[in-house]
Amino acid sequence: MTDHTAIDDAQLEDAICRTREGETSAFEAVVRRFETSLRAWLAGHVPPGIDVDEVAQRTFIAAYVRLSDYTPGTRFEAWLFTIAQFQLKTELTRLRRVADYHARYAPDLLQRELERRSCEPPEMFVDRLDRLQKCVNLLSEHLRRFIIWRYYEEIPLDVMASRTGRSVAAIKKQLWLIRRKLQECVESQTTTAEGSLS
């Protein structure tokens, strides 16, 4: 069983020294000493979408790898939190790159898909609509009611929520699940139809 008691500054310096000398297990005491405060600090600084535990883990790994850069007797906590700040900036940069990539290329991909679909023969569109109608008919009455309300009667989500006694978020999720189920059904029927033609 691991001892989770806090260590004082002298014990911290000793653990750091032993780690630098090759006793890797001594670094556990360093992690235990700062994991709560580091995670708390990160939680107060990270925007939504960034995993605090992931950044904390990267911080401890970077500190371990760069332990030879630490000057014994100075404030280890300040050194560690500087690394955490750098790790956080790195993660923010990565997320910005991903968002930028999606912002630049998603419209292009959407345009290509729309062009591809517009070039399909009208018969394929009609066939796909027929398959979709069959799939809607296969839904239980309870699920079909959501489709009718939303897409035929164009009832707003908040009205659907009040009719069913559920939250708007629950209605959105239900509709998403139904759409996914319908997509899988249409794709399955399309695959079956294409297989019978070959």
**Domain ranges in the chain with CATH number 1.10.10.10:** 120-197
> Under CATH, what is the fold of the domain 9-98?
Rna Polymerase Sigma Factor; Chain: A (1.10.1740)
Range picked from 90-94, 120-124, 126-130, 144-148 for highest mean pLDDT: 144-148
* pLDDT-wise least confident of 21-30, 91-100, 123-132: 123-132
Tell me: pLDDT of 19 over 60: yes
pLDDT of residue 171: 93
CA-nearest of 87, 93, 79 to 55 is 87
**Domain ranges in the chain with CATH number 1.10.1740.10:** 9-98
Where do the H-state alpha helices sit in the chain? 9-20, 27-45, 52-65, 76-118, 122-138, 141-147, 157-164, 168-197
Tell me: pLDDT of 3 over 50: no
Residue 135 and residue 143 in contact, taking contact as beta carbons nearer than 8 Å: no
pLDDT of residue 117: 63
According to the CATH classification, is domain 120-197 in 1.10.10.10? yes
- Across the chain, mean pLDDT equals 85
Tell me: pLDDT of 23 over 80: yes
Q: What is the mean pLDDT of residues 167-181?
A: 92
